[in-house]
A = this chain, B = another copy of it.
Amino acid sequence: MPTPDRTSLPEIVAAAVDLLEADGLAGVTMNAVAVRAGVRAPSLYKRVRDRDELVRLAARATLAALADRIVAHTDPARHPDPAERLAALARDLRAFAHERPHGYRLVFAPPSAETRLEPEELAAASAPLLAVAAELAGEDAALEAARTLTAWATGFIGMELAGAFQLGGDVDRAYAYGLERMLVALRSGD
């Protein structure tokens, strides 16, 4: 006699995402997720293979939220200037990292290969960046320009989240300085 389900995969992933931001990745235990979803830990294994898969699902949901935000601010029809679109991209990425630092790090600096998203998933989310890079550096250099921009931005934000900027200096200004330097660098290589 089947009984109605007491939870669902979306509910489980939502619980994992909530715990991730509240307590960090270490707080995403199978027991904590299960209790938040209204079941016991062993029941989770009916819907996910293991904890690594659940963490990867939480990373995917986090990336989707970031992609939504970026797409809303990088419509070429509304913002024809690529430099302006790049600034919006950089601002959105950093703001997202500040709002959801644990989720951001899970996506952009995963602690292990098992919890890492596929490169294809990250690539799909970076279409707006590729479009901007092509306009700034030319179609031929678009991929490498996009990678250089991503490297700088994720490197900067990673350092910031790791507390590397605690010693003096205006971090907002340093980010703006770096962004301006990147613009100069990519445009001059056209």
Let me know if B155 and A119 touch, CB within 8 A.
Answer: no
Interface residues of A in 68-116 (CB under 8 A from B): 108-113, 116
Given the contacts A143-B169, A144-B177, A177-B148, A116 and B162 also touching, CB distance less than 8 Å: yes
Interface SS of chain A = helix
Residues of B within 8 A of A151 (CB): 151-153, 155-156, 158-159, 178
Q: CB-nearest residue of chain B relative to A154?
A: B155
Complex alpha-carbon distance, A151 and B157, angstroms: 8
Q: What sequence of 0s and 1s flags, for each residue 144-177 of chain A, a beta carbon within 8 Å of any chain B beta carbon?
A: 1101101111111011001111110100011001
Let me know if B109 and A167 touch, CB within 8 A.
Answer: no
Complex alpha-carbon distance, A162 and B110, angstroms: 7
Let me know if B163 and A112 touch, CB within 8 A.
Answer: no
Q: CB-nearest residue of chain B relative to A166?
A: B119
Q: CB-nearest residue of chain B relative to A116?
A: B162
- Say yes or no for A49: interface residue by CB 8 A criterion: no
Residues of B within 8 A of A166 (CB): 119
Residues of B within 8 A of A189 (CB): 180-181, 184
Residues of B within 8 A of A30 (CB): none
Q: CB-nearest residue of chain B relative to A155?
A: B155
Complex alpha-carbon distance, A147 and B156, angstroms: 8
Let me know if A163 and B111 touch, CB within 8 A.
Answer: no
Q: CB-nearest residue of chain B relative to A188?
A: B184
Nearest chain B CB to A38's CB is how many angstroms away?
Answer: 29
Complex alpha-carbon distance, A123 and B165, angstroms: 10
Residues of A within 8 A of B (CB): 24-26, 108-113, 116, 119-120, 122-123, 141, 143-145, 147-148, 150-156, 158-159, 162-167, 169, 173-174, 177-178, 180-182, 184-186, 188-189
